[in-house]
Amino acid sequence: MKAKTHFFKNLDLTSILVPESDGAFTGTKVVCTVGPSCQDVDTMCEMLNAGVVGCRVDLTWGPLDFHRKSLANLQQAMRKSRRLCCTMVDTLGRELMIRRQVKIGEDGWPIHEESFAVTAGQQVIITTRMDVEASGSVLPITYSKFTEMAVKGDTIYIGRYLVCGADSASLYLEVTDVQGDDVYCIAKNDAVLDGLLTVFHAERSVEGLANVQNDLPLLSEYDKECLHILAQDFEIDFLSLSYSRSAEDVREARRFLDSIGMSNTKILAKLESRQSLLNFQGILNEADGIIISRGNLGLDCVPEKMALVQKTLVQACNLVGKPVLLTRVVDTMINTPRPTRAEATDVANAVLDGVDGILLGAETLRGRYPVETVTTICNISRAAEKVFDHHYHYEHLMEVAIDVGEMTAADNTVPGESEDDTAPGAATPGGATDTEGAAPANGVGTKAAAPHHHHHPRGPLGAVRRDDSWNSVTSAGAHHQLPSLGVAAKTMARFSQVASAGSLAGLGLGRSVAVTNAYHRAPYISKLESIASSAVRAADRVGASLIVVYTHTGKTAQLVAKYRPPMPILTLVVPHLVSDQLKWKLEGRSSARQCLISRALLPVLAAPSPSGDQLLQEAVGMAGRVGLVKPHDHVVCVQRIHDDFCVKIISVDDMGAGIKRDEAGMSHSVFGTSPSMPAHGHASGYDSPRVHNNPIGNKFGPMPPAAISTNSFTIGGMGVGVLSPAGLAAALGSTGGRP
């Protein structure tokens, strides 16, 4: 791994101390956890306006009715604030807890009336007996086989749900003996145990995996029941998969989501243990994104290695273009309106490392200052982004691309083509079909136009399976660990190849076996990857203020975003109607919301139109009204014209309200991937929507965008624009919050 150094161009402290503009763009995203402190609609509106782009409900704690109310209130807040926001559900999974009596408060949130004081040196017994009440000396655990896991000398951590590990509600125990149903421990510190108490068994090995792992299922029956119920009334954009241990865990979760009709829900794998690090490569290949759960992960790794672990994980995710979120950043803001200097530095360093977003936990769930916390995170992130070395980040990715291209050419193979890869149930290149594709010009299609809903065996490559996680990046990750970033780099090739392949499939262009085999042997920098990197290079060279990306599933925009350009990326997502022969369904809105957690992406829903130039004109006008561009600024646009990708460079007119036209009527320069590509003209497929603006204000922080529609109409509180009068009836029947 090459270290990412941060050399600042400006060492003048006088200029560094100048306050940032309130209307400045913030690329780093903020996701909050909904709890009693922020569940009401007014607080949610304030948080959305402050910069929140996603809300998480955690099934670990709280009754289902509380979480249903949280999601319902979020819909109202989005309707009221005109802000788009994605939804995330966190699972209970393999969590170990202390069994205690609980009652439900007036607000619907569970509370414990008693707390337990423990002093250092005191004996504490963790028992699996069911007839024991919790006290300061005896703690009944919910897992019946815990005694089989504990060994003398082990460290066991017990703490309040979502605590940082360094407060009064954190207790560290050392195992002294195991007898029958009891594990005898000695307290290593003073603590006051309150609220929901979770248990974490720290890894005893320094570098390997020696602990016996619990055999709890990845998804508990409670998880499955809740997800099934929530899916009936709400569109869940992300599943936060707790205690992910391997690639198979992600595949199992994907199969379950598909079985209950949540195929559009993406999976974010939470890394919470040493085992997840050892199997990280496989997890990264299968998941749609990564959450670095630093609370538990910090307990399973020695302190001196945590910074290196974080940087390695973030860099690997950047390399393959998948979003990565970080937890546990400003824990002190649970009780104070201002973070410590260490916390502020931690957030800034995370942004400099390249994280896509910050996931807030107890700070917004039970903290006293949820809105102030969001504002603080955005301010720190914006200041760090200002000095982020975009050029070094870009050059680093390109160097890796060249290195991997040479490795790929040397062995005449691409990742994922070993014998292990084609074993039953292993990854196969043919499994990737759900990527960038052109929607019909009128926004209406059938399932035949959406190849990701079909399963076609493809000769010797074995059985092909479809799911969103699978299609992001495929390789033999289930059979490899991550000794270095070299393996992760190879998956970057598959990501771009998969995206380009899906584009052809979306256009209905079939591929022969010979073409398929030749394609899988393609150079490392594929067409789509080359276009994405060229767009960022062009934007940097001309000093563009904005990049506009036409996208169908969001993958093209993700490829552009991974190069971390300094300017915002306006992502135009085109909803489209598909049919399963029984009913019509509107797809695409979830893609827009899912783009929200990728750094610098500003997703906007756009309605189909026969003219791509007209769409671009209206998009630039909207960008001017919200302050993203000014008169005479340059804008770089990535789109498909007919069958070819192209990069356009345009200028904003004198009024800042549209595209500047030269004397010959040309509005832009075009750089394409085909010599025969027309210089300009009507775009086809998903390159041809129309977009109109809803007022979203000039202070947009990380700018969770409002929906834009021809009629300024919001459907179902999800901030979704009406496609067209013809599509209004179908759109009303497919709202974000189902009736």
505-509-511 Cα angle (round to 5): 90
- Flag whether pLDDT at 266 surpasses 70: yes
Considering 1-15, 262-276, 583-597, 599-613, the range whose residues carry the highest mean pLDDT is 262-276
60-64-67 Cα angle (round to 5): 85
Neighbours of 449 (CB within 10 A): 21
Confidence of residue 499 (pLDDT cuts 50, 70, 90): very low
pLDDT at 19: 74
Tell me the CATH number of domain 25-95+216-387, given options 3.90.79.10, 3.30.420.40, 3.40.50.720, 3.20.20.60: 3.20.20.60
- Flag whether pLDDT at 407 surpasses 90: no
Give the C-alpha distances (Å, rounded to integers) separating 342 from 333, 338, 346. Answer: 12, 12, 6
**Residues 18-32: what's their mean pLDDT?**
82
More confident residue, 407 or 475: 407
**One-character DSSP codes across 439-461:** PPTTSB--GGG-GGG-----GGG
> How many angstroms separate the first and last alpha carbons of the chain?
50
More confident residue, 162 or 18: 162
Lowest-pLDDT choice from 68-77, 523-532, 682-691: 682-691
Retrieve residue 711's tokens.
């009629």
pLDDT in tens, 199-228: 999 988 877 788 888 999 999 999 999 999
Domain residue extents for the chain = 25-95+216-387, 98-203, 527-652
pLDDT at 587: 78
Lowest-pLDDT choice from 240-244, 403-407, 668-672: 668-672
pLDDT at 8: 72
Q: Phi first, then psi: give them for residue 70, nearest 5 degrees.
A: -60, -45
**One-character DSSP codes across 167-183:** STTEEEEEEEEEETTEE
pLDDT at 23: 61
% of the chain beyond a pLDDT of 90? 53
pLDDT at 358: 98
More confident residue, 573 or 479: 573
Considering 465-469, 520-524, 554-558, the range whose residues carry the highest mean pLDDT is 554-558
Q: Is the four-CA dihedral 283, 287, 290, 295 of positive or negative sign?
A: negative
Q: Is the four-CA dihedral 100, 105, 110, 113 of positive or negative sign?
A: negative
Contact 327, 313 (CB under 8 A): no
d(CA 559, CA 577): 25
Give the C-alpha distances (Å, rounded to integers) separating 63 from 68, 105, 359, 719. Answer: 9, 11, 22, 27
More confident residue, 248 or 400: 248
Retrieve residue 707's tokens.
């929906």
More confident residue, 436 or 30: 30
**Residues 86-113: what's their mean pLDDT?**
93
d(CA 376, CA 331): 12
Name the CATH topology of 527-652: Pyruvate Kinase; Chain: A, domain 1 (3.40.1380)
pLDDT at 662: 63
pLDDT at 672: 52
Lowest-pLDDT choice from 8-22, 449-463, 564-578: 449-463
Retrieve residue 479's tokens.
């059979």
Radius of gyration of the CA atoms of the chain, in A: 25
Contact 605, 550 (CB under 8 A): no
d(CA 76, CA 500): 38
Closest CA to 66 of 32, 33, 112: 33
More confident residue, 101 or 441: 101
CA 312 from centroid of its chain's CA atoms: 17
**Residues 2-24: what's their mean pLDDT?**
70
Retrieve residue 656's tokens.
């800042």
Residue 201 burial by Cβ neighbours in a 10 Å radius (0-12, 13-18, 19+): buried
Contact 4, 353 (CB under 8 A): yes
Contact 591, 585 (CB under 8 A): no
What type of residue sits at position 730? A
- Flag whether pLDDT at 549 surpasses 60: yes
Q: Are strands 644-651 and 634-641 parallel, antiparallel or unpaired?
A: antiparallel
Retrieve residue 349's tokens.
């360093």
More confident residue, 96 or 12: 96
Confidence of residue 711 (pLDDT cuts 50, 70, 90): very low
Give the C-alpha distances (Å, rounded to integers) separating 660 from 228, 255, 653, 657. Answer: 51, 50, 4, 9
Contact 685, 705 (CB under 8 A): no
More confident residue, 698 or 617: 617
Q: Phi first, then psi: give them for residue 370, nearest 5 degrees.
A: -65, -45
**Residues 238-246: what's their mean pLDDT?**
96
- Flag whether pLDDT at 458 surpasses 80: no
| Three-state SS annotation for 234-271 | ECCCEEEECCCCCHHHHHHHHHHHHHCCCCCCEEEEEE
- Flag whether pLDDT at 423 surpasses 50: no
**Residues 390-408: what's their mean pLDDT?**
77
d(CA 362, CA 195): 12
Q: What average pLDDT does the chain have?
A: 76
Neighbours of 49 (CB within 10 A): 21
What type of residue sits at position 322? K
pLDDT at 692: 34
Per CATH, is 98-203 categorized as 3.40.190.10? no
pLDDT in tens, 555-607: 899 999 999 999 999 999 877 777 767 777 777 889 999 999 999 999 988 87
Retrieve residue 694's tokens.
């809803």
pLDDT in tens, 113-164: 889 999 999 999 999 999 999 999 999 999 999 999 999 999 999 999 988 7
d(CA 388, CA 225): 44
pLDDT at 22: 61
CA 361 from centroid of its chain's CA atoms: 16
Q: Which residues have a Cβ under 8 Å from the Cβ of 565 and sit 6 or more positions away? A: 390, 536, 539, 540, 547, 600
pLDDT at 434: 35
d(CA 229, CA 365): 22
E strands within 531-681?
A: 546-551, 569-573, 576-579, 584-587, 601-605, 607-608, 634-641, 644-651, 668-672
- Flag whether pLDDT at 610 surpasses 80: no
- Flag whether pLDDT at 722 surpasses 60: no
Give the C-alpha distances (Å, rounded to integers) separating 625 from 309, 629, 630, 695. Answer: 42, 8, 9, 9
- Flag whether pLDDT at 666 surpasses 70: no
Q: Which residues have a Cβ under 8 Å from the Cβ of 537 and sit 6 or more positions away? A: 394
Residues of 381-414 as b/e, b for ≥16 C-beta within 10 angstroms? bbbbbebbbbeebbebbeebbeebeeebeeeeeb
Contact 504, 641 (CB under 8 A): no
Residue 143 burial by Cβ neighbours in a 10 Å radius (0-12, 13-18, 19+): buried
pLDDT at 307: 93
**Residues 403-428: what's their mean pLDDT?**
43
- Flag whether pLDDT at 292 surpasses 80: yes
